[in-house]
Amino acid sequence: MCGIVGLYLKNPELHPRLGELFAPMLIEMTDRGPDSAGIAVYREDPAVGTKVCAYSADTGYDWNGLARQMADDLGVDVRAERNSTHALLQTSVEGADLRGWLERERPDVRIMSSGRALEIYKEVGLPEDVLERFGIPAMAGSHAVGHTRMATESAVTTEGAHPFNTGDDLCLVHNGSLSNHNQLRAWLRHNAGLTFQTENDTEVAAAYLTWRLREGDTMDQALEHAMRDLDGFYTFAIGTRAGFSVLRDPIACKHAIMAETDDWVGMATEFRSLARLPGVENARIWEPKPATIYSWGSN
Amino acid sequence: METLDLAELDIRDVNRRLQGRTGDSDASDFEVLNPLGRHTIAAGINRPINVHIRGHAGYYCAGMNQQAKVTIEGNAGVGVAENMMSGEVRVTGYAGQSAGATGHGGLLVIEGDASGRCGISMKGIDIVVGGSVGSMSAFMAQFGTLVVLGDAGADLGDSIYEARLYVRGSVERLGADCIEKEMRDEHREQLADLLKRAGFDANPDEFRRYGSARQLYNFKVGNIGYY
C-alpha cells in the first residue's frame, strides 16, 4: 500500500505557496505509507541551466570539494548547496553532464534527480518528518509530486523510496506493481543505454518514459506506448519540466481521485489529501478513468 | 438537530453516537461537520435516523446501512453505501468506485456521476444515478436495480445474474452475458416508481433495459424462489 499525491499550479501567483499547499497533502497519506517519503519539486531559476539532486548517507560529505572537482573536470561553474542528506549541485550551463560525471567519478553518491527544474528529496521516516528535514513547506515552485511508502516486498531504504527520475526532468510516482519490469529493465539497459540505481519496478517505468521522450514522443504518446509495454497494476503521477500527467491501468483497481479549479490541479490516492486545498469546495472532482491519459501544461 | 463535528471528535465517537450506542441522546436528526474526506463516516447505523454529512466523504461512507437516511452533501469516495441492507443513502455530488457494492436492500441515489464498478455484486439494492456510470458497472450483479439517467461505461453488467439495469443514455459496450431486453409495462412501472422515489423528473419511455442472457450461470426456473 502506498499513497501518491500531485499538485500542479496553473496560476503563477500561487507558485510561492507550492510547498505550503503540498506538504499537508503528503502528510494526509501517512496512514498509507509511514516507512518513507519522497518529494519531487519543480522550480525553475533562469540562472540555473542544469541541476542534480544527490544523496549520501554521510551527513558530513564534502559536497563543496565534489563541486570543485566537478567544475574543473567539466569546465563549468558548479555550486553545491547541502540540504540534510542531500545536496543540490547547480550550474548556469544548460545541458552540462553533471549526472554522467557523478556516475563515472562518484559511484558512492546516489543521484536523486537531474534536469533543469526538478529536485527530488527522499528519506526513510514519517512523511511529516521528511518534509521538515528538507524544508519542503517553504519551497516555491510550479508543481510537485510525492509518495508515501509502505514497503511490502523490498527493504525500507532511501533508494527504494519514490519518486524516480532517470534523467531529463521527468519523474514518476507509482501506486501498484509492475510484473514485467525485470525484462524491460534489461531491454532498456541494452537497447536504450539507460542506467538504473535500484531493482525497483517504478524506476523501470520512469526509464521507459525517459526513453520514449528521447525518441521524440510527446508525453501523451509516451504514455500510449507505456500502456502497451507495461504489464501490471498502476496509478502513475508524472511530472515533466512544465507538465503534469496522470494515468491508470486498464483495470484501474489502484485508487485515484482528481480535483481541478482555475488555479490548480490536484491528484491523490484519497480525497482527504485534496480536502484542504483552496477552493476545493467548488472544484471539479472525478476519478480518472481506466487507460485514459490526463495531462496539463506543456508536454 | 444534533451536531457532530469531526474537527473535534474522533470518527469512532461520531459513529457510536450515530449508532445510538452512547445512550445519552434521543435525537433523530444529526449533522456531521468537517468530513474532509475521512473514511467510514456513518457506517453501521441500524436505526431510523436522518444524517446530513456537510461536505465530501471518504471511503465506505454509510456502509452496511440499515433504516437510516444518510445524505452526503458533496462527493463520496470508494464504496459508498457498500453492503447496505435498508434505508436510503443520497450523494448530491460524485461517487467513487464501487458505489453500492454488494448492497442487499435500500435505495442509493447519486445525483452526479458514479465511477467504475457501480453496483458491483449488488444483491437487492436499488441504485439511481443522475449522471453517468463508469466501466464494469453492475459486474456480477445478482439482484436489485441500477438506473442510469446518463451513459454507461464499457462492460456494463458483465457476468450479470438477475439484476435489472435501466439506462437512458448510451452504453459504451455490454459485458459478457448482458443483453438488451424488452421494456414491458411492469418495467416502466418499476422505473417510474424508482425515479419518483429518487426525486428525478425523467420519462421511463426514454430508457432501455438490460439484463442477463442466462448463458453463463446455471439458471433453473424451478428455483426462482431462492434467487
Query: For position A153, what pLDDT does the model report?
Result: 65
Ranked by mean pLDDT, which of A147-161, A197-211, B136-150 comes out on top? B136-150
- Rounded Cα distance between A194 and A186, Å, is 10
Domains of chain A: 2-44+126-297 (3.60.20.10), 48-116 (3.30.70)
From the list B55, B58, B93, the residue facing A270 with the nearest CB is: B58
CA dihedral B184, B120, B72, B166 (to 10 degrees): -20
From the list A271, A280, A286, the residue facing B77 with the nearest CB is: A271
Mean pLDDT of B179-207: 98
Whether residue B37 and residue A274 make contact (CB cut-off 8 A), yes or no, is yes
Q: Which residues pair with B33 in a beta bridge?
A: B5
- Rounded Cα distance between B79 and B101, Å, is 6
Q: Is A35 a residue whose pLDDT tops 60?
A: yes
Q: What is the DSSP string of B158-219?
A: TT--S-EEEESS-BS-B-TTEEEE---HHHHHHHHHHHHHHT----GGG-EEEEE-S-SS--
Kindly identify which residue of chain A lies nearest to residue B115, measuring between CA atoms. A287
Q: In the structure, what pLDDT confidence band is assigned to residue A248 with cuts at 50, 70 and 90?
A: very high
Query: Amino acid letter at B53?
Result: I
Q: In the structure, what pLDDT confidence band is assigned to residue B110 with cuts at 50, 70 and 90?
A: very high
Mean pLDDT of A35-40: 95
Q: What is the DSSP string of A167-180?
A: STT-EEEEEEEESS
A253 tagged catalytic? no
Min Cα distance A16 → chain B (Å) is: 25
* pLDDT tens column, A277-296: 999 989 999 999 999 999 99
* pLDDT tens column, A123-161: 999 999 999 999 999 999 999 999 999 877 677 888 778
Mutation site for A-interface testing, chosen from B41, B80, B97, B117 by largest number of A Cβ within 10 Å? B97
Whether residue A290 and residue B116 make contact (CB cut-off 8 A), yes or no, is yes
What CATH number has the domain spanning B2-226? Answer: 2.160.20.60
Query: For position A197, what pLDDT does the model report?
Result: 85
From the list B38, B55, B97, the residue facing A287 with the nearest CB is: B97
Query: For position A299, what pLDDT does the model report?
Result: 55
Residue whose C-alpha is closest to residue B92's, from B108, B104, B115, B79: B108
* Vertex B181 angle, CA B180 and B183, to 5°: 125
Check CB contact of B94 with chain A, cutoff 8 Å: yes
* pLDDT tens column, A4-29: 999 999 999 999 999 999 999 999 99
Q: Is B81 a residue whose pLDDT tops 80?
A: yes
The grid coordinates listed for B147 are 438506473
Mutation site for A-interface testing, chosen from B94, B137, B151, B173 by largest number of A Cβ within 10 Å? B94
Burial B81-118 (b: 16+ CB within 10 A, else e): bbbbbbbbbbbbbbbbbbbbbbbbbbbbbbbbbbbbbb
The model carries a pTM of 0.91
Residue whose C-alpha is closest to residue A239's, from A138, A158, A118: A118
Query: For position B139, what pLDDT does the model report?
Result: 98
- Rounded Cα distance between A113 and A50, Å, is 11
* pLDDT tens column, B17-76: 999 998 877 899 999 999 999 999 999 999 999 999 999 999 999 999 999 999 999 999
Min Cα distance A278 → chain B (Å) is: 13
Mean pLDDT of B86-100: 97
Q: Is B100 a residue whose pLDDT tops 80?
A: yes
Query: Amino acid letter at B155?
Result: D
Q: Is B217 a residue whose pLDDT tops 80?
A: no
Mean pLDDT of A245-266: 95
Q: What part of B 25-64 touches A (C-beta under 8 Å)?
A: 36-39, 55-56, 58-59
* pLDDT tens column, A57-114: 998 999 999 999 999 999 999 999 999 999 999 999 999 999 999 999 999 999 999 9
How do strand A36-42 and strand A143-149 relate by DSSP bridges? Answer: antiparallel
Check CB contact of B139 with chain A, cutoff 8 Å: no
Helix (H) / strand (E) element for A119: namely strand A118-124
Q: In 3-state terms, what secondary structure has residue A54?
A: strand
- Rounded Cα distance between A156 and A134, Å, is 19
Q: Is B95 a residue whose pLDDT tops 60?
A: yes
Q: Is B90 a residue whose pLDDT tops 90?
A: yes
What percentage of chain A exceeds 90 in pLDDT?
Answer: 88
Burial A223-252 (b: 16+ CB within 10 A, else e): bebbeeebebbbbbbbbbbbbbbbbbbeeb
Average pLDDT score, chain A: 94
